Each structure stands twice: as C-alpha cells, then as structure tokens.
Homo-oligomer: A and B are copies of this chain.
Amino acid sequence: MFAALGDPTRLAIFDRLADGKPRSISVLSDDADMTRQAVTKHLRVLEAAGLLQNHRVGRESQYAFCPEQLAEARAYLDQVAGRWESALMRLKSFVEDDEA
C-alpha cells in the first residue's frame, strides 16, 4: 500500500480522487499526459492496494476513493510513532534513575 502511493503518478491520481467523486478512466487520462493504458495500469494497482474502488457502469468503468486502507496506513504510522515515543520515555526514566 505504501508502494502503491510511492509512485508520483499514482499519488496524483489518488489525490485527484480524494474528493469522493468517481471518475471514468478516459476522464482521468485526459489530463494525465500519458496513455489511457498507462492510467489503467495505475488504477489497477491502486485498486489492488484497496485505495480505490472500481464499479462498471455501462461502457465506462468508474474509479472512486476508498477510505478503509487509508485508515490502516494511519494506524500503522501511529503505532510506529507510539513505539518510538515510549522508547523515549524509557530512556528518560533510565537517565533520571541514573541521576537519582
């Protein structure tokens, strides 16, 4: 999932869809100075990572923002930050014990 957002093109697409509005592939590839096929591949990657949702309507396939994985990413970052801070606390109390 970090890998999915790691590519700048993909991050741009994802950012564009963050307003919640679903968009078709051709709409997304219009202002993405690259082939429709390339955009399609990126969309597939983002969908596989659980960041986007695809839903075929008529002859066009709409991709839309999907918030679940986003929450998971935030949870992971929070957890890492938490581990780090608690390590800091242990270090601090160790130093203070040493001073006492």
Residues of chain A whose beta carbon lies under 8 Å from any beta carbon of chain B: 2-7, 11, 14-15, 18-21, 65, 67, 70-71, 73-74, 77-78, 80-81, 83-84, 87-88, 91
Name 20 extra pairs, CB < 8 A, besides A2-B2, A74-B74.
A2-B6, A2-B11, A3-B6, A3-B7, A6-B6, A15-B80, A18-B83, A19-B87, A20-B84, A20-B88, A21-B87, A67-B81, A67-B84, A70-B77, A70-B80, A70-B81, A74-B77, A74-B78, A74-B81, A77-B77
Within 8 Å by CB of A87, from B20, B71, B74, B81, lies B20
Taken together, the copies of this chain in the complex come to 2
**Is the beta-carbon distance between B83 and A19 smaller than 8 angstroms?**
yes
